């Protein structure tokens, strides 16, 4: 049975042909575990679950990996606000996440890698980029130099020369280019940190997914998916740093689901217009929420 997928990278619907015949390697960007997931988040995980189930149904051997971001500015901010450790925050909301996706009938992934458990792999990847002059150190920070990647902007359709400095990427005078992004962040007082060749610090968000996906699925794999808000800068930066390191195509098919909207606005914690999964399933069973999403096109 044939299968066609809309590839964000090419902006076309393409026949699915896996990198390795009969096998599918599939990476889904999971939650940052600092709060309960809302139903907009759940839409992405349900879409990924449906595609995975269908691929298995038509005979593919699917390896499905969904990561947990368990070190991040939002996690640190919440831990400081509540006066507890980052570990207590991430353990609480990781447990809640697994409860919520189980309520929604989502099959368990083959792996749930956590960023804090893969710092060694992240450091190795950063060292590789520095060795190739694709990244540079400034004090205890390390940045990726986007000028070294000719295809930067191809996924999102953005021209680097037209990007407005400071839009979704904080302007930092230490950077060579305004669009350069952090691979490693120097430790700040009160923040969790790990030893590295650049001093105590922690990974940047984007490098986490590159290191984890390549560990479990290889340096070139079939599908990378997530919400459309991740196209830029997250997935764009993943491509730059991954292909910058390996010199080969990182992902064959990029899939992105559309936003769940409330009165014309994206549902988001930052806007305060969200409802958590656990709020909704007190009113409707999880399978009803699942059916609600399946009634509309995923994009």
Q: Where are the domains of the chain?
A: 19-134+204-295
Mean pLDDT across 227-241: 97
Residue 256: band (very low, low, confident or very high) from pLDDT cuts 50, 70, 90: very high
pLDDT the model gives residue 166: 47
pLDDT in tens, 76-127: 999 999 999 999 999 999 999 999 999 999 999 999 999 999 999 999 999 9
DSSP 213-246: HHHHH-SSEEEEEEEGGGIIIIIHHHHHHHHHHH
- Distance from C-alpha of 224 to C-alpha of 248, rounded to nearest angstrom: 16
Mean pLDDT across 226-245: 98
pLDDT the model gives residue 160: 77
Mean pLDDT across 154-178: 74
pLDDT the model gives residue 162: 67
Window from 40-49, 70-79, 155-164 with minimum mean pLDDT: 155-164
Plot region of 253 (φ>0 → left; ψ -120 to 50 → alpha; else → beta): beta
Mean pLDDT across 42-67: 98
Question: Could you tell me the two tokens for 41?
Answer: 């988040």
pLDDT the model gives residue 151: 94
Tell me the percentage of the chain whose pLDDT exceeds 90.
87
Residue 266: band (very low, low, confident or very high) from pLDDT cuts 50, 70, 90: confident
Which residues, listed in sequence order, are joined to residue 13 by a DSSP beta bridge? 6
Window from 12-26, 58-72, 271-285 with minimum mean pLDDT: 271-285
167 pLDDT above the threshold of 60 = no
- Distance from C-alpha of 62 to C-alpha of 50, rounded to nearest angstrom: 12
Residue 169: band (very low, low, confident or very high) from pLDDT cuts 50, 70, 90: low
pLDDT the model gives residue 171: 63
* Mean pLDDT estimate for the chain: 94
Mean pLDDT across 51-64: 98
- Tokens 């139903």 identify what position? 39
165 pLDDT above the threshold of 80 = no
Residue scoring higher pLDDT (284 or 166): 284
Residue 194, helix vs strand vs coil: strand
pLDDT the model gives residue 240: 98
pLDDT the model gives residue 170: 55
221, 252 contact by CB (below 8 A): yes
150 pLDDT above the threshold of 90 = yes
CATH class (in words) of the domain with range 19-134+204-295: alpha beta
Q: Which residues contact 238 (CB under 8 A, 6 or more apart)?
A: 206, 209, 210, 213, 224, 250
pLDDT the model gives residue 1: 66
């Amino acid at each position: 049975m044939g299968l066609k997928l809309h590839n964000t990278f090419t902006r076309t619907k393409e026949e699915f042909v896996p990198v390795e015949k009969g096998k599918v390697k599939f990476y889904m960007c999971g939650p940052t575990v600092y709060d309960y997931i809302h139903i907009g988040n759940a839409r992405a995980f349900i879409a990924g679950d449906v595609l995975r189930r269908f691929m298995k149904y038509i005979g593919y051997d699917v390896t499905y990996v969904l990561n947990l971001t368990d070190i991040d500015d939002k996690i640190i901010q919440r831990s400081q606000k509540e006066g507890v450790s980052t570990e207590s925050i991430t353990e609480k909301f990781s447990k809640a996440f697994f409860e919520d996706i189980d309520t929604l009938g989502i099959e368990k992934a083959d792996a749930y890698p956590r960023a804090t458990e893969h710092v060694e792999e992240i450091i190795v990847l950063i060292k590789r980029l520095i060795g190739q002059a694709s990244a540079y150190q400034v004090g205890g920070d390390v940045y990726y130099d986007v000028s070294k990647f000719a295809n930067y902007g191809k996924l999102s359709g953005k021209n680097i020369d037209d990007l407005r400095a400071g839009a979704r990427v904080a302007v930092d005078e230490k950077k060579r280019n305004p669009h350069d992004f952090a691979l490693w962040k120097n430790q700040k007082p009160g923040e969790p940190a790990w030893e590295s060749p650049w001093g105590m610090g922690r990974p940047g968000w984007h490098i986490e997914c590159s290191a984890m996906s390549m560990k479990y699925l290889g340096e070139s794999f079939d599908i990378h998916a997530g919400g459309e808000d991740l196209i830029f800068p997250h997935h764009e930066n993943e491509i730059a740093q991954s292909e910058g390191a390996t010199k080969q195509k990182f992902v064959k098919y990029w899939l992105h689901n559309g936003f769940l909207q409330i009165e014309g606005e994206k549902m988001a914690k930052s806007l305060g217009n969200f409802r958590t999964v656990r709020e909704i399933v007190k009113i409707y069973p999880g399978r009803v929420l699942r059916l609600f999403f399946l009634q509309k096109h995923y994009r």
